[in-house]
């Protein structure tokens, strides 16, 4: 009897896998290690210290940029998730018709277009609005990030809808539930993991965006990524490593929370 094929049995698989993991994670490990460097160099180890974490904590520009980044990412993720959920329901809970494939492509267009093109388009669009309204607040950044994050939130929500069994929704309709009641009590609870995944993905994408933020932001509206980019052009210190390490831990915490929530959903 022939053995079942397994890619793990191919010659050199383990070696190639280790090289890939080293290439992916060694720069991150190096960044985290030198965040605790006592000296000012990011390449020469001079002892263990937490000085750069204290320095970042006491840096008002870092704190302001961090708070602004979290505010924009949270609001953009909420808006993008709501829009993506409505779009996913509209494109999956319907009979096939001409133009549906075009709508799929249209929603996912920001994934295919270079980000710089999107940034320039948003810059021109919002510049006209600023001229007519005189408003130059964070609303533009939130709208720009939300527009860019919609396809990222749309994909897991649509995937969840397509994998759901329609039997319960049909049963609710047979029991005279209105479309809203069927959505509220049947579809939404089953769709919740996909919505949560889309919101987290949108939050992370918005949190580390640089290109769109650089083009759309007004004066004094630096987010943490744009602040770090500006600092890297002047002087590089382990403070940047410390800031990156904190946000790495934040991302890890978000993913861990989502993992446990998803596992509890599956076991319930």
**Which pLDDT tens digit goes with each residue over 182-220?**
888 888 888 888 898 889 889 988 988 889 999 998 888
Residue 29 belongs to a domain: no
Structurally, how many domains does the chain consist of?
1
Residue 33 belongs to a domain: no
What helix, strand, coil percent values describe the chain, rounded to 5? 75, 0, 25
pLDDT tier for residue 177 given thresholds of 50, 70 and 90: confident
Query: Residue 51: which of 250, 241, 244 has the closest Cα?
Result: 241
Residue 18 belongs to a domain: no
Residue 42 belongs to a domain: no
How many beta carbons lie within 10 A of that of residue 38, not counting itself?
Answer: 14
Which CATH number fits the domain that encloses residue 122?
1.10.3720.10
Q: What pLDDT, on a 0 to 100 scale, did the predictor assign at position 150?
A: 92
Share of the chain above pLDDT 90, in %: 18
Residue 198 belongs to a domain: yes
Residue 258 belongs to a domain: yes
pLDDT, tens digit (0-9, with 9 covering 90-100), for 86-143:
999 888 887 777 877 888 888 888 888 888 998 999 999 998 888 888 888 888 999 9
**Global pTM value:** 0.83
Q: What's the CA gap between 35 and 28, in Å, rounded?
A: 11
Residue 135 belongs to a domain: yes
Residue 22 belongs to a domain: no
User: Which residues span the domain enclosing 247?
Assistant: 59-267
Q: Which two tokens stand for residue 113?
A: 């277009």
């Amino acid at each position: 009897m022939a053995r079942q094929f397994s890619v793990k049995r191919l010659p050199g698989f383990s070696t190639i896998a280790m090289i890939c993991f080293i290439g992916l994670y060694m720069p991150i490990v190096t960044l985290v290690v030198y965040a605790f460097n006592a000296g000012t160099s990011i390449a020469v180890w001079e002892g263990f210290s937490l000085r750069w974490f204290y320095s970042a904590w006491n840096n008002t520009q870092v704190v302001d940029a961090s708070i602004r980044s979290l505010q924009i990412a949270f609001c953009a993720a909420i808006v993008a998730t709501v829009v993506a959920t409505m779009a996913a329901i509209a494109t999956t809970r319907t009979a096939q018709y001409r133009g549906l494939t075009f709508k799929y492509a249209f929603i996912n267009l920001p994934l295919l277009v270079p980000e710089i093109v999107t940034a320039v388009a948003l810059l021109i669009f919002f510049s006209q609005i600023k001229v007519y309204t005189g408003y130059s607040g964070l609303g533009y950044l939130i709208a720009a990030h939300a527009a860019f994050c919609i396809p990222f939130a749309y994909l897991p929500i649509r995937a969840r809808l397509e994998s759901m069994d329609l039997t319960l929704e049909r049963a609710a309709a047979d029991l005279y539930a209105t479309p809203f009641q069927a959505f509220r009590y049947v579809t939404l609870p089953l769709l919740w993991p996909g919505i949560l995944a889309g919101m987290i993905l949108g939050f992370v994408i918005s949190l580390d965006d640089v290109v769109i933020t650089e083009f759309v932001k007004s004066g004094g509206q630096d987010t943490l990524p744009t602040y770090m980019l500006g600092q890297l052009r002047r002087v590089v210190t382990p403070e940047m490593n410390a800031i990156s390490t904190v946000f790495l831990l934040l991302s890890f915490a978000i993913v861990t929370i989502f993992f446990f929530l998803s596992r509890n959903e599956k076991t319930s």
